[in-house]
């Protein structure tokens, strides 16, 4: 079909990711413009963004500082390869990310998405063990309900069966249990105490299969896409101890938890646990230009010895690794986080957000509420024989009737406002959810 024969607003050609395309095209939800905490739809109706875009617009939409940095960069240097060459902004951004990272994680490998950031971490882990003469260490351990993107490595360690069902066989991996008690933990505010027992499951896996066969454990400091399952207070520390005991690398996938979602630059800081690698994406550019990255301990990178000045030690990279527009957006974004104290602002809003979301306890069909930082899950009982339907209807009603844009994880409504949210934005979102739940029954 030539472009002249396309109908204006034809919705047919775009195969939407992670979307029921049929339902969407019957009743579209079009976001046409944005600013701060708000979107406007294609009819000019103002909406409140309750999910920071897709967990990425942490400083609010269409920030002028970021837009100007991107425009300026596009006029100055549109593209430069980072294979064999480099450009000023990408070095600047890498140094700025390292400044925010836990001590020791002082190298950054750039990519274009969270999926690539996680994939890079897994590849580095395997390559590291080959380089230090432990080639048997090839296996990985993920966790139930985890999401590490959609590439084969990330899918293999991901714990959401719907995402991998159609695409196997995958890489061999083992899984830790979900770090949350779905029977007794319900309506817990913030982090539960303890949680070492969930981490101790790692010992059992290693004992069964031999620790010498494992390269890395990968976990999200907070299960995000899987439905906001909060990590208990002692859990990550215990995981770190077990990994150290057996010489296994610990990878934090901070694609969601990085850059302020938990009130700190990284979840690693909130929980005072230093992993060997951190995958990040999303908030690094405030969502304005795609970018991912993997922070790696210098002591790991050191083993990739380049034999000569002209030889490459790790054959990995993407055409757009550290793209100039993304790097410019990244530096401008980190400036905003710093200059507006946005991580601290999120920490201050957290108790208000917590009390507001937990006020939904008792609303029709609410079976659990979980929260940490500026992330919360309102889990609904599934409708009989139709898992996901009630959640979908709640999202539709929030969008079309209340002008609120939430995230959805099955029958769970996920709320993750930007770090610039006000108390009244939070109240507005929660009131809208309350109204919708009492209406849809």
Give the residues lining the site for ligand PLP (CB under 6 A).
113-115, 118, 147-149, 220, 224-225, 253, 255-256, 281
Contact 37, 60 (CB under 8 A): yes
Distance separating alpha carbons of residues 441 and 430, to the nearest angstrom: 17
To which residue do tokens 């439905």 refer? 227
Distance separating alpha carbons of residues 44 and 97, to the nearest angstrom: 37
Least Cβ distance, residue 113 to ligand PLP (angstroms): 3
Q: According to DSSP H, which parts of 233-314 are helical?
A: 235-246, 267-270, 298-301
DSSP state of 398: I
Name which of 163 and 365 has its Cβ closer to ligand PLP.
Answer: 163
Least Cβ distance, residue 256 to ligand PLP (angstroms): 4
Name which of 390 and 407 has its Cβ closer to ligand PLP.
Answer: 407
Least Cβ distance, residue 257 to ligand PLP (angstroms): 8
Distance separating alpha carbons of residues 438 and 363, to the nearest angstrom: 7
Least Cβ distance, residue 293 to ligand PLP (angstroms): 11
Name which of 220 and 402 has its Cβ closer to ligand PLP.
Answer: 220
Q: Which position's Cβ is nearest ligand PLP?
A: 114
Name which of 334 and 416 has its Cβ closer to ligand PLP.
Answer: 416
Helix, strand counts (H, E) of the chain:
15, 17
Name which of 220 and 276 has its Cβ closer to ligand PLP.
Answer: 220
Name which of 154 and 232 has its Cβ closer to ligand PLP.
Answer: 154
Least Cβ distance, residue 311 to ligand PLP (angstroms): 31
Q: According to DSSP H, which parts of 262-377 are helical?
A: 267-270, 298-301, 324-339, 342-358
Output the six-digit token pair for 130. Answer: 């080959």
Least Cβ distance, residue 12 to ligand PLP (angstroms): 24
Give how far Cα 87 sits from Cα of 92, 111, 321, Å: 9, 15, 12
């Amino acid at each position: 079909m030539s472009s002249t024969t396309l109908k204006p607003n034809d919705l047919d050609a775009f195969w939407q990711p992670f979307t029921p395309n049929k339902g969407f095209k019957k009743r579209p939800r079009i976001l046409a413009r944005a600013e701060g905490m708000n979107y406007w739809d294609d009819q000019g109706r103002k909406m409140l963004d309750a999910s920071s875009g897709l967990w990425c617009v942490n400083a609010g939409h269409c920030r002028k500082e970021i837009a100007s940095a991107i425009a300026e960069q596009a006029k100055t240097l549109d593209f430069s390869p980072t294979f064999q060459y480099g450009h000023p902004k990408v070095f600047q951004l890498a140094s700025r990310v390292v400044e925010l990272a836990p001590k020791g994680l002082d190298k950054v490998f750039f990519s274009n998405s969270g999926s690539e950031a996680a994939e890079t971490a897994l590849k580095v882990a395997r390559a590291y063990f080959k380089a230090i003469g432990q080639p048997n260490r090839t296996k990985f351990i993920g966790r139930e309900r985890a999401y590490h993107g959609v590439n084969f490595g990330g899918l293999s360690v991901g714990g959401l069966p719907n995402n991998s069902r159609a695409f196997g066989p995958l890489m061999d991996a083992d899984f830790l249990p979900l770090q949350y008690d779905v029977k007794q933990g319900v309506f817990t505010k913030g982090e539960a105490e303890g949680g070492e027992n969930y981490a101790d499951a790692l010992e059992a896996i290693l004992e069964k299969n031999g620790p010498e066969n494992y390269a890395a454990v990968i976990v999200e400091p907070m299960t995000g896409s899987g439905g906001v399952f909060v990590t208990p207070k002692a859990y990550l520390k215990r995981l770190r101890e077990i990994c150290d005991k057996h010489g296994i690398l610990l990878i934090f996938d901070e694609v969601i938890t990085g850059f302020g979602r938990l009130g700190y630059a990284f979840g690693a800081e909130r929980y005072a646990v230093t992993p060997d690698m951190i995958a990040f994406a999303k908030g690094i550019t405030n969502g304005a230009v795609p970018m991912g990255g993997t922070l790696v301990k210098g002591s790991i990178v050191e083993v990739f010895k380049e034999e000569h000045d002209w030889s490459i030690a790790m054959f990995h990279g993407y055409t757009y690794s550290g793209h100039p527009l993304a790097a410019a957006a990244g530096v401008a974004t980190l400036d905003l986080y710093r200059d507006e104290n946005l991580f601290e602002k999120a920490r201050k809003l957290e108790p208000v957000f917590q009390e507001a979301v937990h006020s939904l306890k008792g609303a029709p069909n609410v079976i659990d509420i979980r929260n940490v930082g500026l992330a919360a899950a309102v889990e609904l009982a599934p409708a009989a024989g139709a898992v996901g339907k009630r959640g979908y209807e709640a999202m539709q009603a929030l969008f079309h009737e209340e002008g609120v844009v939430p995230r959805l994880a099955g029958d769970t409504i996920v709320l993750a406002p930007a770090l610039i949210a006000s108390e009244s934005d939070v109240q507005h979102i929660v009131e809208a959810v309350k109204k919708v739940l009492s209406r849809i029954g």
